[in-house]
């Protein structure tokens, strides 16, 4: 499966629609281990992205990611805005002038996004953040096993972790067995990728 500009735009459109649809649920997760704004934050960026695409569509593949980065950085706020924004921007940079991505290119691009989150968040896997969804999703994609089922398993596993980064870390032990809102929204990002096309095969 080759990722073209059209497919990438479908990916981000589906992601934005899912975020808007699950807004309440995401905020509910954040109400339990954070401050309850994750759904609202994310839906704001998602809505802005969808609206901007009704006026001007991206011309190049990297622009799809750049547009999303701009909306997340300027419109989302909280911790997640700059983190997702950085991820999308690093993905755009990794794409450069490429007009399409093969399976291996896609993995590298997603890894660049993942590294961007780590660097910007000064965080790593195991701290119960969005990274704990991105890491297993990348691993599944590398094995050609990225499915809705592996994403559910990844989120379930991240639930078991104790938060040591971000707002949820204030809860310490009490964050165990709760859903990290950023991991839940990241699951939507990879579900959107799956729905946009079959990315496990070549
Ligand atoms: P805020 O915590 O500022 O209210 P949000 O509620 O929008 O921001 O986002 C919270 C999510 O951001 C968390 O669930 C977590 O996944 C992610 N997050 C927070 N800090 C970090 C970090 N340093 N590195 C990676 N992800 C983080
Ligand atoms: Mg919050």
For position 158, what pLDDT does the model report?
Answer: 98
Query: For a pocket test of ligand 1, which of 23, 36, 77, 166 has the largest count of ligand atoms closer than 8 A to its C-beta?
Result: 166
Per-block mean pLDDT, blocks of 10 residues, the chain (202 long): 94 98 98 97 98 96 98 95 98 98 97 98 98 98 95 98 96 96 98 83 45
For position 157, what pLDDT does the model report?
Answer: 98
Q: Give the residue whose CA is nearest to atom 14 of ligand 1.
A: 182
Instruction: Sketch the domain layout of the chain as residue ranges.
Output: 5-196
For position 116, what pLDDT does the model report?
Answer: 98
For position 71, what pLDDT does the model report?
Answer: 98
Q: Is 120 in the pocket of ligand 1 (CB under 6 A)?
A: no
- SS3 string, the chain, reads CCECHHHHHHHHHHHHHHHHHCHHHHHHHHHHHCCCCHHHHHHHHHHHHHHHHHHCCCCCHHHHHHHHHHHHHHHHCCCHHHHHHHHHHHHHHHHCCCCCECHHHHHHHHHHHHHHHHHHHCCCCCCCCCHHHHHHHHHHHHCCCCCHHHHHHHHHHHHCCCCCCCHHHHHHHHHCCCCCHHHHHHHHHHHHHHHHCCCCCC
Q: Give the residue whose CA is nearest to atom 22 of ligand 1.
A: 121
Neighbours of 43 (CB within 10 A): 22
Rounded to the nearest angstrom, the distance between the alpha carbon of 122 and the centre of ligand 1 is 12
For position 198, what pLDDT does the model report?
Answer: 61
- Which CATH number applies to 5-196? 1.25.40.340
Which atom of ligand 1 has the smallest separation from the CA of 180? 14
Q: Is 178 in the pocket of ligand 1 (CB under 6 A)?
A: no
For position 197, what pLDDT does the model report?
Answer: 87
For position 201, what pLDDT does the model report?
Answer: 46
């Amino acid at each position: 499966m080759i990722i073209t500009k059209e497919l990438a735009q479908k990916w981000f459109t589906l992601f934005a629609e899912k975020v808007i649809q699950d807004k309440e649920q995401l905020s509910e997760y954040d109400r339990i281990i954070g401050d309850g704004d994750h759904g609202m934050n994310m839906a704001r960026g998602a809505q802005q992205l969808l609206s901007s695409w009704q006026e001007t569509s991206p011309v190049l593949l990297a622009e799809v990611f750049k547009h999303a980065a701009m909306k997340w950085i300027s419109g989302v706020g909280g911790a997640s805005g700059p983190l997702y924004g950085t991820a999308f921007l690093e993905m755009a940079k990794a794409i450069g002038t490429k007009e399409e991505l093969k399976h291996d290119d896609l993995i590298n691009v997603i890894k660049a996004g993942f590294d961007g989150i780590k660097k910007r968040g000064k965080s790593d896997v195991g701290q119960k953040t969005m990274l704990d969804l991105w890491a297993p999703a990348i691993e599944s994609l590398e094995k050609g096993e990225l499915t809705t089922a592996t994403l559910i398993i990844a989120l379930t596993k991240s639930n078991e972790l104790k938060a040591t980064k971000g707002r949820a870390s204030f809860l310490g032990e009490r964050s165990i067995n709760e859903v990290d809102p950023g991991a839940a929204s990241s699951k939507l990002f990879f579900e959107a990728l799956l729905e946009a096309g079959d990315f496990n095969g070549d």
